[in-house]
Amino acid sequence: MAYNLLKGKKGIIFGALNNMSIAWKVAEQAHEEGASFVLTNTPVAMRFGELDELAKKTGSIIIPADASSEKDLEELVKKTMDHFGGKIDFILHAIGMSMNVRKGNVYNELNYNYLAKTLDVSAISFHKVLQVAYRLDAINEWGSVVALSYVAAQRTLYRYNDMADAKALLESIARSFGYIYGRERKVRVNTISQSPTRTTAGSGVKGMDALLDFTERMSPLGNADATECAEYCVTLFSDLTKKVTMQNLFHDGGFSSMGMSNRAMQMYNRSLECDDCPEEEEEMNLD
């Protein structure tokens, strides 16, 4: 159901690769809510992805850009402003990439060239997007910039590797730039810390199925899927959240506040060969 929350708003959406991408769902929802936007991704991703289909469906244009290149970003923002004949209202940064994860390098044996690339593409690119937008004064007052993060920024999760460091930096950039952008231009900057989600980037995390099962059992509301993440993004781009800035907002069904849940403990007990595990029926009565 659409509420016209983004009627007349214009934006840039980074990171839609295929119809599993969180950014893809954000584009669909933003379109339904009345927004117009430019879609962008790397030229390589465009060759392998299905961005044309999304552009057609949402009446958008595509402008390629490598988000780690300031030159590309400057061209992207200038062309976007030309296209819309003025400033924009929102930006979604949905970009993540780690060569260490791809190559299976464990955290205590990182390749530092890859680490630098992880940080550049997955986090510093957010600073570059903000800096270019700020320099070109591309965002209207009460505009909103959102990047997607993960709870590994706060807590160690097996195998998330150097992406955890990238997410910690990403969230810090949102706070530091959010202060300046809010103070000077009344633009808000936030990160959404999303549940594990089955996407191309998500599948790069080894043991994704087990992780999804674990977080589903741990979260009182269950995992948040990509469509639900898109709905949350829309509220942050809307005028209903004008005073929310410099926050890392957990969108994870409650996972980040849990220590252990009954459902997860049941599964854990089942896998233990122990005599003193409580009976399942008994456990059902526990909180």
Ligand X SMILES: NC(=O)c1ccc[n+]([C@@H]2O[C@H](COP(=O)([O-])OP(=O)(O)OC[C@H]3O[C@@H](n4cnc5c(N)ncnc54)[C@H](O)[C@@H]3O)[C@@H](O)[C@H]2O)c1
| List of residues contacting ligand X (CB under 6 A) | 14-15, 17, 21-23, 41-42, 45, 66-68, 94-97, 121, 148-150, 194, 196-197, 199-202
Run of H or E including 36: strand 36-40
Please, which residue, 222 or 265, has the CB nearer to ligand X?
A: 222
Please give the Cα distance from 80 to 94 (Å, whole number).
18
Alpha helices (H) along the chain = 22-32, 43-48, 51-58, 70-84, 99-103, 112-119, 125-135, 163-185, 200-203, 208-218, 226-237, 262-270, 280-284
Please state the closest distance from residue 199 (CB atom) to ligand X, in A: 3
Please, which residue, 75 or 283, has the CB nearer to ligand X?
A: 75
Cβ(195)–Cβ(218) under 8 Å? Answer: no
Please state the closest distance from residue 189 (CB atom) to ligand X, in A: 15
Please, which residue, 149 or 247, has the CB nearer to ligand X?
A: 149
Please state the closest distance from residue 19 (CB atom) to ligand X, in A: 9
Please state the closest distance from residue 180 (CB atom) to ligand X, in A: 22
Cβ(181)–Cβ(189) under 8 Å? Answer: yes
Q: At what angle do helices 163-185 and 125-135 cross, to 10 degrees?
A: 20
Please state the closest distance from residue 68 (CB atom) to ligand X, in A: 5
Please, which residue, 175 or 185, has the CB nearer to ligand X?
A: 175
Please, which residue, 105 or 200, has the CB nearer to ligand X?
A: 200
Please give the Cα distance from 246 to 97 (Å, whole number).
23
